[in-house]
Amino acid sequence: MALEISMEGIEARARDLGIDLSAVDLDAVALPAGEDFGIISDDEEILRDDDPMELEMGFANIVVVDNLPVVPPEKFDKLENVVRKIYSQIGVIKEGGLWMPVNPDTKKTYGYCFIEYNTPQEAELAREKTNGYKLDKSHIFAVNMFDDFDKYMKVPDEWMPAEIKPYTAGENLQKWLTDEKARDQFVIRASTVTEVYWNDARQKMPELVFQKQYWTDSYIQWSPLGTYLATVHRQGSQVWGGDDKFERLMRFAHPQVKLIDFSPGEKFLVTYSSHEPNNPRDTHRVVLNIFDVRTGKVMRDFKGSADEFAASGNISVSGVSWPIFRWGGGKDDKYFARLGKNIISVYETETFSLLDKKSLKIENVVDFCWSPTDPIIALFVPELGGGNQPARVSLVQIPGKEELRQKNLFSVSDCKLYWQNSGEYLAVQVDRYTKTKKSTYTGFELFRIKERDIPIEVLELDNKNDKIIAFAWEPKGHRFAVIHGDGPKPDISFYTMRTTNNINRVSKLTTLKSKQANALFWSPGGRFIVFAGLKGFNGQLEFYNVDELETMATGEHFMATDIMWDPTGRYLASAVTSVHEMENGFQIWSFSGKQLYKVSKDHFYQVWMDVHP
């Protein structure tokens, strides 16, 4: 908190000390080099970037409604009441906030009005919902933001060619891949400081690359191919990159942004914010922007209530699951989609409009996910009519929207979809009711996507009543692992989609009994896997070689909350974040389970290994 002292106070203090201020050259006063006495200067980047002055909203909360009927004085009140009734349904109109100008000569209205809301978000929603509203055959509303008029008035009457700036070479955003020691980077966030390190396993300690205080207001995130490091601020998001200076590459203005998500090919960035409603009966107001990462241009925005964007996802924020948009078609970033009520809306990024100008209508659809490599959607529809209409899983090809394969499922309680990262297989975990409906059991439907007619195999565990705790495909491989069981020490089974004779049939490789694990972490290159006991299992780790079906090492990171491999599969990070008050920090392990070094950090929030393109 800044200490404020009035000029009168300074003069009084100077008199007490016997100092004549008129004789002091204030312009000559300077702090010693490199010293700020803990006081942040007004022009420091930290204030310019992360704590800008709150500006008045100006006229951003006012809309102009045109094409109203032109009425005489006796019909003025009736028209005003009609307009107020329409626009008060969208938000709270300020007292005296509806103004319909009148022609002083004719005493009739001009045919437009101004409406002032409490917030800019309500004004934006009013424009979005009522622009084009048909009052009657002769009067179709044309609604604009008041601030837009100033923008349009500044457009010059004559066209002027844009200034062509000379080309200047930018930073090599992937220079870190050429490190002479073949090291990879990782970023951590602790207290108010964010730091980027080289993982120097040979020296058994990290080497600092870059450090900045108050670099982000909430969290940090590497982009999917490791090109950018993104930070989140009250006024929007920013991306950074380069060799070791981490220059700011682009800003994305989005006030009160809470979450961000990159497209797989890093071409686009989705930002999300939610705003408290003025009326307690209303839901949160949601704003989503999709930016072009390189230019910073908003390619498409979406606004509405939280109910309109409610769908299945990973993180729930204000009743909305994240990510709202799911990207398809691999790293080309050609399509993105979101789940709605009885629909899946698929958009293409060439025009950022709905594919074929209409959504996929699928009665009662509750979940979907894209193939990681191909424009194929897997979707799940639960049972309807008390079981008279079975549940089903369908594969739909985009952009043609052809159904490639469908499987009907009976007596289904729940269903989960797991794609293998090369798009070769889809595992559908199906929880079914027993005949008595008092309990459930689990099996798997395994789709071979690349084979003719997409054959499906059914897999049941040896004890089909075992609870499934975790499932994970081997990256770039043909195996998968399942943690299953009901006791405090469940079993772990490994299966392969290919037998030794290369016959395409699922078979079990082995079952490991009584393991203290509830999470699976395959190495990015496959072959090796870590069984982790997080939360209630107190950080038990087991490093396992699936090729040899043998344990390489066991370890423990007490109270571990997070596990992450480096992109090469050589090293693994385990961390205890600030959800625990004690033991905060991280440890680096070799792929074979040797602890290489440990770093303790108070108020430790995040560790994130960089990724490779």
Task: Among 28-37, 105-114, 304-313, 504-513, name the one with the lowest average pLDDT.
Answer: 28-37
Q: Please say if the pLDDT value at position 36 is more than 60.
A: no
**pTM summary value:** 0.75
Q: Strand 335-340 relative to strand 343-348: parallel, antiparallel, unpaired? A: antiparallel
Phi, psi of 147 (to 5 degrees): -60, -25
Confidence bin at 56 (pLDDT 50/70/90): very low
Phi, psi of 82 (to 5 degrees): -65, -45
Three-class DSSP category at 162: coil
Q: In the chain, what percentage of residues exceed pLDDT 90?
A: 63
Question: What mean pLDDT comes out for the span 29-51?
Answer: 48
Q: Please say if the pLDDT value at position 15 is more than 90.
A: no
Q: Measured between alpha carbons, how far is 38 from 232 in angstroms, rounded to an integer?
A: 24
Q: Extract the tokens encoding 224.
A: 């999917």
CA dihedral (209, 213, 215, 217) in degrees, to 10, reads: 140
Extended strands (E) in 118-246: 134-136, 139-140, 142-145, 185-190, 193-200, 205-213, 220-222, 229-233, 236-241
Q: Extract the tokens encoding 196.
A: 């980027």
pLDDT at residue 30, as a whole number: 57
pLDDT at residue 378, as a whole number: 97
Identify the CA nearest to 333 among candidates 353, 350, 345, 311. Answer: 350
Q: Extract the tokens encoding 68.
A: 């109203």
- Tell me the range of 270-284, 523-537, 540-554 where mean pLDDT is highest: 540-554
pLDDT at residue 31, as a whole number: 53
pLDDT at residue 49, as a whole number: 44
Q: Extract the tokens encoding 585.
A: 């920090």
- State the amino acid at position 476 in one-letter form: K
Task: Report pLDDT digits (tens) over 392-443.
Answer: 999 999 999 999 999 999 999 999 999 999 999 999 999 999 888 888 999 9
Question: Could you count the other beta carbons within 10 Å of the beta carbon of residue 411?
Answer: 17
Q: Measured between alpha carbons, how far is 79 from 86 in angstroms, rounded to an integer?
A: 11
Confidence bin at 62 (pLDDT 50/70/90): very high
Average pLDDT, the chain: 87
Task: Report pLDDT digits (tens) over 121-136.
Answer: 788 888 888 998 999 8
Contact present, 260 and 280 (Cβ < 8 Å): no
Contacts 24+ apart (CB under 8 A), 281-284: 283/307, 283/319, 284/318, 284/319, 284/320
Q: Extract the tokens encoding 160.
A: 């002027």
Q: Measured between alpha carbons, how far is 294 from 249 in angstroms, rounded to an integer?
A: 8
pLDDT at residue 521, as a whole number: 97
R_g of the chain computed on alpha carbons: 30
pLDDT at residue 311, as a whole number: 58
- State the amino acid at position 506 in one-letter form: V
Contact present, 373 and 422 (Cβ < 8 Å): yes
Q: Estimate to the nearest angstrom the gap between the alpha carbon of 254 and the chain centroid.
A: 14
Confidence bin at 54 (pLDDT 50/70/90): very low
Task: Quickly count helices (H) and strands (E) in the chain.
Answer: 5, 45
Q: Measured between alpha carbons, how far is 528 from 570 in angstroms, rounded to an integer?
A: 10
Which helix H or strand E contains 375, and what residues bound it? none
Q: Please say if the pLDDT value at position 57 is more than 80.
A: no
Q: Please say if the pLDDT value at position 327 is more than 90.
A: yes
Contact present, 260 and 266 (Cβ < 8 Å): no
Calculate the alpha carbon distances from 94 to 114, 116, 219 in Å.
11, 6, 36
Confidence bin at 483 (pLDDT 50/70/90): very high
Contact present, 426 and 448 (Cβ < 8 Å): no
pLDDT at residue 156, as a whole number: 85
Task: Report pLDDT digits (tens) over 408-417.
Answer: 999 999 999 9
Task: Report pLDDT digits (tens) over 239-271.
Answer: 999 877 888 999 999 988 999 999 999 999 999
Confidence bin at 11 (pLDDT 50/70/90): low
Identify the CA nearest to 299 among candidates 253, 258, 349. Answer: 349
pLDDT at residue 14, as a whole number: 66
Three-class DSSP category at 9: helix
Confidence bin at 8 (pLDDT 50/70/90): low
Contact present, 328 and 334 (Cβ < 8 Å): yes
Question: What mean pLDDT comes out for the span 295-316?
Answer: 75
Q: Please say if the pLDDT value at position 383 is more than 60.
A: yes
Token pair 């590459």: residue: 249
Q: Measured between alpha carbons, how far is 186 from 575 in angstroms, rounded to an integer?
A: 13
Q: Please say if the pLDDT value at position 51 is more than 50.
A: no
